[in-house]
A and B are shown apart, each in its own frame.
Chain A
Amino acid sequence: MTRSQRRVHLVVWLTLPVVLLGLIGWAASVRPSVAPPPNGATP
């Protein structure tokens, strides 16, 4: 692996996890809320 290839890998792997973790966090925060069932039981 050349020096420039190593640099590209490092940049990708410094940004990709941050982007994906951000996406997961955002996706979790916008999950549709569910109203409790009429009989009061927890889903």
Chain B
Amino acid sequence: MSGTHTWVKWNKAKLAYDAVVLAGIVAFIAVFIAVGIATPAGGNAHDPMILLIRATAFAAITLLHVVLCIGPLVRLWPAAAPLLYNRRHLGVTTFVVSLAHAALVLLYYGGFGAQSPGEAVIAAPVAGSGPGGFPFEALGFGGLVLLFVLAATSHDFWNFALGPRLWKALHMLVYAAYALVIAHVALGALQSERDGLHVMLLGAGVAFVGGLHIAAGLREARRARGAVSPEPDTDGWIDAGLADDIPLDGARTLPTPRGERIAVFRFREGGDERVGAMSNACAHQGGPLGEGRVIDGCLTCPWHGWQYEPETGHSPPPYAERVPTHEVRVEGRRVFVRSTPRQTDQPAGCARIGGDHG
């Protein structure tokens, strides 16, 4: 990707977001321990370390569910798109809390030094010491390793070093991590629970995450099936419908017969209304520009707010990303889009509604 890419810097909004997340986790753990101490229970259930181990486990698995729900939620309810903006911060937090859980387990069950941490790390994953005799530690360890890989490669540096496609494929490992974590809990902690509460909670979590993904997937498939792909004419122009069907300062997605998608957008500039078209895939992570809005004169991706100038498809300085643009022409209020994109160094420009191209 672009060698002149400028990273998004740490800013006040991100710091505030992280502070809120941190405060939420601390509050969650404090309430969990307080409730645990106040609840009558036998055995070592009131041991503060046991409660802390359980609290970090609950916090980590809750965070993982939240992280996994954000994607499909945004597909079903676009107004939730701001949740995507700092999703990776939540992912890294999930790893850190999981690591704290694993470290506490190793320290506690290693007798705080009776067994060396090195031995404990090697022995625990194969010990099969759970109440059901399953080697559930290995599953948790595997999930933790995957979460580490995801956290370590979460920065945009890796997105650009690996390319958006490979990066996205790598980060699909979050589902493998989720499966390992669920198996870790089912074959570990659930085995020592006498009531059905934890079974129901875990089952409800999986059903909710799964149901949300299936609903989002079905909706996407229905949308793709229902979208009529207009055949281009002999010159390669696709009838994109009336300009009035494109929201002002917004966009819509135009599918091509080849299965690609074009973002067609309408905006006001000076006293003119203009329409333009560019590839639907954001250069950052392939976000749907056709579901974006025109903000501050730029088409803005709904996922992470990456922006592109309507006339050129180039990100405004100092950013250097480029998205291919498509030529547009307007007849009356009917919009036509060229099906093949221009090279990024040959921007197509926009068309004035009620006037000629350019």
Contact = CB atoms under 8 A, between A and B. Distances in A.
Contact of B217 (A3, A10, A19): A10
B206 interface: yes
B175 A27 contact: no
B179 A32 contact: no
B267 to A, nearest CB: 26
A30 B193 CA distance: 12
Contact of B259 (A2, A9, A16, A17): A2
B72 to A, nearest CB: 9
Given A23-B183, A43-B194, A30 B220 contact: no
Contact of A24 (B132, B206, B214, B224): B206
Nearest to A7: B221
B182 A13 contact: no
B271 interface: no
B259 A3 contact: yes
Contacts of B218: 10
Given A24-B182, A28-B196, A32-B132, A17 B221 contact: no
Per DSSP, chain A at the interface is helix
B230 to A, nearest CB: 18
B207 A17 contact: yes
How many chain B residues sit at the interface, stated as a range, is 20 to 34
A20 B194 CA distance: 21
B257 interface: no
Interface in B293-336: none
Interface string A1-43: 1110010011011101111110111011011101000000001
Given A6-B217, A6-B224, A21-B207, A32 B190 contact: no
B81 interface: no
Given A6-B220, A31-B132, A32-B132, A13 B210 contact: yes
Contact of B182 (A1, A2, A20): A20
* Best-buried of B131, B196, B214 by chain A (most CB within 10 Å): B214
Contact of B193 (A2, A3, A14, A31): A31
B185 to A, nearest CB: 8
A20 B187 contact: no
A1 B259 contact: no
B24 interface: no
- Complex A-B, nearest 4 residue pairs according to Cβ-Cβ distance, in ascending order: A17-B210, A27-B186, A13-B213, A10-B217
25 contacts: A1-B220, A3-B224, A9-B217, A10-B214, A10-B217, A10-B218, A13-B214, A17-B206, A17-B209, A18-B210, A20-B179, A20-B183, A20-B206, A20-B210, A21-B203, A21-B206, A21-B210, A23-B182, A24-B186, A24-B202, A24-B203, A27-B132, A28-B186, A32-B191, A34-B194
Given A16-B210, A28-B186, A31-B193, 18 more contacts: A1-B286, A9-B213, A10-B221, A13-B210, A17-B209, A18-B210, A19-B179, A20-B206, A20-B210, A21-B203, A21-B210, A24-B202, A27-B132, A27-B187, A27-B191, A31-B190, A31-B191, A32-B191
Interface of A: 1-3, 6, 9-10, 12-14, 16-21, 23-25, 27-28, 30-32, 34, 43
